[in-house]
Chain A
């Protein structure tokens, strides 16, 4: 089986797992306000984990090269792309769930509240990246500048981390773990690339 098929299956499985977790959160909580919170949390964390996984590919590749244990670039690239697309799709699901449950009557709060504003910023970036992740879409839009846009992936991550840190129900250990993971990825990106001889 090819590397791209593997990455597709892994990401599909993760998305299915996230969907199942969201369903459990919905069905397992009879009290509506708490159900709203749980489904938002589940979908949000699923999206964030996939985003971090996607962002982790380049640093992991760099580290593997430094350790003289290079990974397959094509497989890693395929996984990164699919994890990113999955993260963006789940982020859209998360936003839809939030707007229809927790923020059902408070859409105006999205722009007024720093917590939701950070989430919105992350969502906008991910939606843009999603929209320019397919060659047919780039051709259709006749975009000349899209690779530059994709450098915003880490900005989306930073906004998502800020969103988690300010979230009403975020347990601090989870928020700190997300922040630590993100900072570690950023630090790994600063590692020098191994010179090929």
Chain B
């Protein structure tokens, strides 16, 4: 009897055995409690499981009170059906409220992204594990394999082909360098495939995805007098020449062509490369490679001097600077080192005057001639970085596209003002600011913008004006050079099927062309703006839908990434070319956080600094919600497309990773990484364990406010300076020393000076 009477903590009803049901004497107590709980929860302002539980406990308390103080108030019925009918009646409204709250609960409790998050975690801790799980078939990249206790690891992309040996770095970590151009066995094509990991002879297969990017023609160089324009497709290693008369030539070039210029009246084409350390000089008519001028790897932009005597090549590798290379034979070459990463580049009036922009510190520099070479003058500082730049034919002015007016320090707001800055090169000042955001009659909400968003490409046109391509609103404007020279003439490209235009070029006699990297097309337009010819380098949508639906989704995602919201900004506005604008923004809570690059974020869920978005597709809520959605409807799911595009953005290639490695030093770095317990959160092989931690647990001294921080991957961390959640650390040394006084962001105090140096060296090469 004692046992039977005792209150039982676990499932008292489960072992009672069958017993005769008592006659229905009253409304079932449990049903009553549930009904009251649902009613209470319906009245509760928030939607969380904790509040549902609280409602149930409160309801039980209320029922207890009624049974204790006024049992006669407890409803009783002569039949069971009466009770059931009343329960159903009373339960209708709360049940409806419950259904209404299910979606908010799913969001609040992070249930939506749980399977994806679990899958990502499983991928990195199912040993042996390889990361990242995406293989790009177009450029060199590095993978890490985590196989604790193993002595030898080999990786085979294709079953039956000779495996590639990974380099042991100690602590169970192995590094695999892979370059598709090296003639090694690669998966037969894009899509999912099984990679074989040979760990001390035992074979393990892991799921990966191979991606073969489509052609992406971007910015042009042109010689209007010859009716020719040229561009490159870095993804497909080709230069593309297009003529006013409708001809098009695709020329295979070196690995990762990043920019090109035309010279000798359009008869010569110079192409610089990101991965091949050469400038190729090509005969435009025949497509033959005339000469290869050795320079350095990681060339980013190219410009020809007005007299075509030299080429200037911006280099953003281990050494940053500008290579000056004589034309046509590469003689008189010199190197101008820079303390910043060069981005856009053009000559001023003469061959000894160069204008160069830096995205990271949001500056425009003019390098002026000096007897000892080229020395910089005071740069023009902007509030936000330059997105694109074009040079007037006489070199007296350049037009720079940006997303803010003025030079005030960015204060963390999200106010994007799409603008063009006319810079007077001689006076070295901003001569005029042209705000391009406009609203058409189609928008009826105050502040809604659907014109002039995301200026992306600029080119001189007809000797009197600039052409400006707007990727956010699918249009091209013609703007006069001179201030006050009249308003812009706009060409709307959306109806022509040209999406997210980037490059624009003068083809002479009023003709012009525009590129769409996402569509993989170059369109030639007549002086009237009529579409004369579309050169498709990639398959059309209908063909892609059949051949490779994943590629189509990525294409649509790329367009969505650039598409303007009604608030006048797009993903591109802050994540410049999928990288970072170098600014810090208030994402809520008052804390300023640095814009992250979205390269290489596949498999690192959840997203944002606080891990508040469990899936990539959830980031679309930002555009659809606070930025008021898009001006035009789409015939695809923008959220899924955006996620597909971002998942296919590769990690940036680290210049140091392509340099010969000091293996002993690298191993010392890995040992220090483990000794300082960095590996606890930035776990092998993805250098993140996809977790979040309270601010004060990691940074008690510098982040006293509430909230949690997501653990970012350290892959390519050196490319993402400045560091930490709010960019307070300008160097990696500052991360581990200056901003870790509590020693909770890694046990750095356990490291010697040499171990710290090795750790930093390792981080720089990841």
| Chain B 53-89 interface 0/1 with A at a Cβ cutoff of 8 Å (1 = within) | 1101100100110011000000000000000000000
A162 contact set on B, CB distance < 8 A: 109, 111
* Closest CB in chain B relative to A99 CB, distance in Å: 11
Contact of B13 among A145, A151, A170 (CB under 8 A): A151
In the complex, A156 Cα to B505 Cα: how many Å? 65
- CB atoms of A173 and B126 under 8 A apart: yes
Q: Check A106 against B126 for contact (C-beta < 8 Å).
A: no
Residues of A within 8 A of B691 (CB): 167-169
Tell me if A176 counts as interface (CB < 8 A to partner B). Answer: yes
Q: Does A109 contact B (CB under 8 A)?
A: yes
- Please tell me which one of the listed residues A78, A80, A108 contacts residue B11 in the complex, with CB atoms under 8 A apart: A80
A124 CA / B50 CA spacing, docked (Å): 9
- Chain B contacts for A32, CB-based, 8 A: 744
In whole angstroms, how far apart are the Cα atoms of A84 and B18 in the complex?
24
Query: In the complex, what residues of A have CB within 8 A of residue B110's CB?
Result: 114, 166
* Total number of residue pairs linking A and B with CB closer than 8 Å: 186
Given A109-B707, A109-B708; A147-B53 close (CB under 8 Å): no
Indicate whether B696 reaches chain A with its CB closer than 8 angstroms.
yes
Is the pair A147, B9 in contact by a Cβ cutoff of 8 Å? Answer: no
In Å, the complex CA distance between A76 and B750 comes to 51
Q: Please tell me if the beta carbons of A176 and B109 are within 8 angstroms of each other in the complex.
A: no
Residues of B within 8 A of A176 (CB): 118, 122
Indicate if B114 sits at the interface (CB-CB under 8 A): yes
Question: Known contacts A144-B64, A172-B121; is A58 also within 8 Å of B11 by CB?
Answer: yes
Residues in A whose Cβ lies below 8 Å from that of B706:
106, 108-109, 112
Is the CB–CB distance between A148 and B125 below 8 Å?
A: no
Given contacts A109-B706, A144-B67, A145-B64, contact A81 B8 (CB under 8 A): yes
For residue B689, CB closer than 8 A to chain A, the reply is yes
With an 8 A cutoff between CB atoms, is A96 at the interface?
no
CA distance A169 to B690 in the complex (A): 9
B108 at interface, CB cutoff 8 A: yes
How far apart are the CA atoms of A176 and B114 in the complex, in Å?
Answer: 12
Nearest opposing residue in chain B for A88, CB measure: B9
Contact with B along A113-142 (1 / 0, CB 8 A): 111011011001100111011110110001
What chain A residues lie within 8 Å of B114 (beta carbons)? 165-166
Query: What CA separation (Å) do A171 and B689 show in the bound complex?
Result: 9
How many residues belonging to A are interface residues under a CB distance threshold of 8 Å? 80
Bound CA–CA A33/B117 (angstroms): 24
Q: Answer whether A132 and B7 are a contact pair too, CB < 8 Å, given A58-B14, A142-B68.
A: yes
Q: In the complex, are the beta carbons of A77 and B15 less than 8 A apart?
A: yes
| Contact indicator per residue, chain B 122-137, by CB within 8 Å of chain A (1) or not (0) | 1001100000000000
Q: Which residues of B contact A130 (CB under 8 A)?
A: 9
Q: Judge if B680 is at the interface, Cβ distance under 8 Å.
A: yes
Bound: A20/B706 CA distance, A: 33
Are A133 and B121 closer than 8 Å at their CB atoms?
no
Known: A77-B3, A142-B68. A57 touches B10 (CB 8 A): yes
Q: Is A175 an interface residue (CB 8 A)?
A: yes
Q: Decide yes or no whether A143 CB sits under 8 A from chain B.
A: yes
Q: Report yes or no: A169 in contact with B689, Cβ–Cβ below 8 A.
A: yes
Contacts of B17 in A (CB 8 A): 196
How far is B14's CA from A54's CA once the two chains are assembled, in angstroms?
12
CB <8 Å contact, A84 and B697: no
Q: How far is the CB of B171 from chain A (nearest CB, A)?
A: 16
Pick from A61, A112, A118: contact of B707, CB below 8 A.
A112
Query: Closest CB-CB distance, B27 to chain A, in whole Å?
Result: 12
Residues of B within 8 A of A9 (CB): none
8 contacts between A and B (CB under 8 A): A32-B744, A34-B680, A57-B10, A105-B694, A109-B707, A129-B9, A149-B60, A150-B12
Q: Which 5 A-B pairs rank lowest in CB-CB distance, beginning with the nearest?
A: A168-B691, A84-B9, A58-B14, A106-B694, A105-B696
Q: A145-B29, A171-B121, A196-B18 are in contact. List 5 more A-B contacts (CB 8 A).
A: A74-B3, A76-B15, A172-B121, A172-B126, A176-B118
Chain A residues within CB distance 8 Å of chain B: 31-34, 36-37, 54-55, 57-58, 61, 73-74, 76-78, 80-81, 83-85, 88, 102-106, 108-109, 111-115, 117-118, 120-121, 124-125, 128-130, 132-135, 137-138, 142-155, 159, 162, 165-173, 175-176, 189, 193, 195-196
